[in-house]
Structure 1
Amino acid sequence: MTSPALTKDAIRAKALELGFDAVGFAPATLDPKHGERLHAYLDDGRHGTMAWMESRAEQRISPDALWPDARTVIVLGTNYGPRTDPTAIHALKDRAAISVYAQGKDYHDVVKKRLKALGRWMVEELACQIKVFVDTAPVMEKPLAQMAGIGWQGKHTNVVSREFGSWLFLGEVFTTLDLEPDRAEVDHCGTCTACLDACPTGAITPYQMDARKCISYLTIEHKGTLDPDLMAAMGNHVYGCDDCLAACPWTKFTKLHTEPNFLPRVELTAPRLADLAALDDTEFRQVFAGSPIKRTRRNPMVRNVLIAIGNSKARRLKEVAEALSEDLNESVRETARWALQRLEKP
């Protein structure tokens, strides 16, 4: 298997055999413009409290900055296209909206296992060195995905695929193999602004995201209390947000996933706000075992649930907010009192 073309074909075939849905090859060097944009983003403070973006920024700017021996990045996409409209839950004001990706098994575990299997096979069959990464590593996976032909980075800043819409988990195998890159994908957003228009908090400008306003950031990364104006715009989102992804016209080409690990757990598709608000630490860990939500922990989740309760206009939920207005956690207490004020308004 000495031909680089045959090597690529073999890697692609093995990746598909392991369950990946999209495979592309990119060089291990990114254009300096990506590093410049990253530093501008950080200098503006648009990353909010995500200090990890700053601490490893120099490794993030290019794959060969993270691993100097890397010559090629194999970008792998795993489809998680939902079977139902993720925004339909917003009509059910007493229910919680949980992002599609978090309703099944933690994708980090699923994707990492497959990446390691592909990496082991490459080391054994191709006598190369490899490193594997999911999105917890300092890797600019979206520009790499575009360079590898997987999709393009849309105006909502996420990768859009002509085959899978916006529903791809990404992972990467860095390798010492020097393989020819695939043809980069071009931008197909055109004049469309559907994702910008769909964002409840106005966090998106074309090709830029201000994390400090993004519901995914606010419900997952940000700890403590939130700005009242942002809370009022968050609706019933309690973990993540799919609004900009679902609004993209390319979702009409979405392929429904067939991965059993990503099937939504019944209790996470439309949970009652009152039930989630009642969870203590132990119950929270039990309910969200094996889910990425478990990393958020009880206090931030209950805070998010109280925001949704405040936005619900469901006065029957006042008792829930009242019970949490004396919670041991400060952000829970303050958010419960905000929710009570909202529910008491005519």
Structure 2
Amino acid sequence: MNYTDLACSGGNRWDELKEEMRAAASELGIDKIGVASAAPFTELKQRLIRHRQLGRESGFEEPDLDKRTEPALLFDGPQSIIAIAVAYPSKLPSPPKSEPGARRGVMSRSAWGADYHKVLRDRLARLEAWLRERVPELRAESMVDTGELSDRAVAERAGIGWSAKNCSIITPEWGSWVYLGEMITNLPLPPDSPIEEGCGSCTKCIDACPTDALVGPGQLDSQRCISFVTQTKGYVEDELMRKIGNRLYGCDTCQTVCPENRGKNWTHQRELQPDTELAKPLLVPLLEMGNKEFTSRYGATSSAWRGKKPIQRNSVIALGNFKDPSAAAHLVRILTDDPRPVLRGTAAWSLGRIGGAEAEAALAAALHKEMDTEVKMRIEQALQQIILH
């Protein structure tokens, strides 16, 4: 079929192209395709304004709310937005055990396998090439996660899934274990209809959130979300450090408790399958890791985008939460020798959690030579905690 004459093509031809595209999804490595209109996301803009007023943004988002909600500001003459979903695994095969003396952290599923940004860009590039073969006049702009548009808002409008109470898109077929991307085009493809919301009265995600970051159905306070906190670079407040547990990057709690995800685990996307030692790594070796080794081991995953410092800080926090005395010597080395104040201050907190004579002596010695005011304060707090307990 020839779709080249855009100006004269009838509506049926675009219907046929859309169905042909949907049928080709699997061979393109895409698990679901939907089409949304390119009209402004008016309701979303109002929610985003309110979100900002309440101070609930993460700071990782596109700051211009007009660009986030008006496709015409990003693309000349948008006619439709093609949304795609690619399913990813939710279970580790034969996960290694975390044991005394060999404690492990956990990476969220979004950091398993190859960086999903690259995988989704590859799938969108395949789709664009497929479309261009049929419509040489195609103009398209693709984006994944870091683009201006809201992936979830586009996916919801395109009928990929419904916007759930945990702020994920839940698809009937794949649950919420899907990565999302979109392509703005000049093709007048007929839009799909949104899927009816399917959460019902269930509030398991809201009830299970470790930090109460889900402040209501579909309402997230990003500043309290563990997934966000693990990706920050500064100090983490005491309450949140305790809630982080042994998470090194991201948090999956609101998805793992979701009934729609029960029993769902997808292993057909080869690039997204996990290396168990990277997904659940030993904590102490992470503390010793230099930039070159970190890049070699984690550079191809999505967890590497912030560098090794947040992950090493989270490793220090995890060791404190395990309260494993065998970790004290490693934390003392960081407290006394690491050039990064945030790492030294966090090591003090963890030593305070572990307690014992070795930790107390190391903290007392470090207090006398530490020059950083913030670190000194945290050492004092850690010593006080040991004394009180």
After superposition, the Cα gap between the structure-2 partners of 1:39 and 1:91, relative to the gap in structure 1 and judged at 3 Å, is farther
Partners of 2:323 and 2:42 lie apart in 1 by: 49
Superposition deviation, residue 299 in structure 1:
1.5
Q: Is the 8 A contact 2:92 2:274 kept in 1?
A: no
Contact 1:95–1:236 at 8 Å: present in 2 too? yes
Cα 1:273–1:191 shift into 2, 3 Å:
same
2:79 is aligned to: 71
What is the alpha-carbon distance in structure 2 between the residues aligned to residue 331 and residue 114 of structure 1? 39
Question: Aligned partners of 2:310, 2:183: CA distance in 1, in Å?
Answer: 33
3-state SS, counterpart of residue 28 of structure 1: coil
Number of the residue aligned with 1:212 = 223
* Cα deviation, residue 15, structure 1: 2.8
Moved over 4 A (4+): 88-93
Matches within 5 A, 1:135-214: 135-205=145-215, 206-214=217-225
Q: Does 1:259 align with 2:269?
A: yes
CA offsets 1:46-71 (integer angstroms, 9 cap, x no match): 11443x432x3221013233224111
- Whether the 8 Å contact between 1:106 and 1:292 is mirrored in structure 2 is yes
Judge conservation of contact 2:91–2:265 (CA < 8 Å) in 1. Answer: no
> 5 Å matches for 1:21-32?
21-32=31-42
1:339 and 2:347 matched: no
**Structure 2: how far apart are the matches of 1:182 and 1:6?**
14
Change (3 A) 1:36 1:175: same
Partner of 2:368: none
Q: CA deviation at 1:124?
A: 3.0
| TM-score, length of structure 1 as denominator length | 0.93
Q: Does 1:318 align with 2:350?
A: no
Q: How many residues align?
A: 342
* Superposed displacement of residue 173, structure 1: 1.4
1:62 aligns with 2:70: yes
1:287 to 297, 300, 315: 297
The aligned amino acid for 1:128 is L
Q: Distance in 1 between matches of 2:38 and 2:75?
A: 9
Q: Which runs of 5+ in 2 are unaligned?
A: 2-8, 356-385
Cα RMSD of the aligned pairs, angstroms, is 2.0
Q: Which amino acid aligns with 1:65?
A: L
Structure 1 spans left out of the alignment, 5+ residues: none
Structure 1 residue identity aligned to 2:138 = C
Q: Do structure 1's residue 100 and structure 2's residue 109 form an aligned pair?
A: yes
Q: Is the aligned partner of 1:109 residue 2:123?
A: no
CA distance in 2, matches of 1:174, 1:84: 35
Q: CA deviation at 1:92?
A: 6.0
Correspondence for 2:383: none
Q: In 2, Cα distance between the equivalents of 1:48 and 1:159? A: 19
- The superposition leaves residues 96-136 of structure 1 with CA deviations (integer Å, 9 ceiling, x where unpaired) of 01011212111111110121121122123123211111111
Note the alpha carbon deviations across 1:221-246, whole angstroms, 9 max, x for none: x2210111111111100111111111
Offset at residue 272 of structure 1 (A): 1.0
Structure 2 counterpart SS, 1:300: helix
CA deviations on 1:199-231 (whole Å, 9 max, x unpaired) are: 1111112211111111111112x2210111111
Query: Could you tell me which residue of structure 1 aligns to residue 340 of structure 2?
Result: 329
Render the CA deviation track for 1:275-298: whole Å, top value 9, x for unaligned: 112212222112212111221212
Pick the structure with greater CA Rg.
Answer: 2
Change (3 A) 1:276 1:91: closer
| Inter-partner Cα distance in structure 2 for 1:83 and 1:338 | 32
**Structure 1 residues 133, 31: closer, same or farther in 2, change over 3 A?**
closer
| Native 8 Å contact 2:67 2:148 kept in 1 | yes
The sequence identity of aligned pairs, in percent, is 32
Is the contact between residue 201 and residue 214 of structure 1 (CA under 8 Å) also seen in structure 2?
Answer: yes
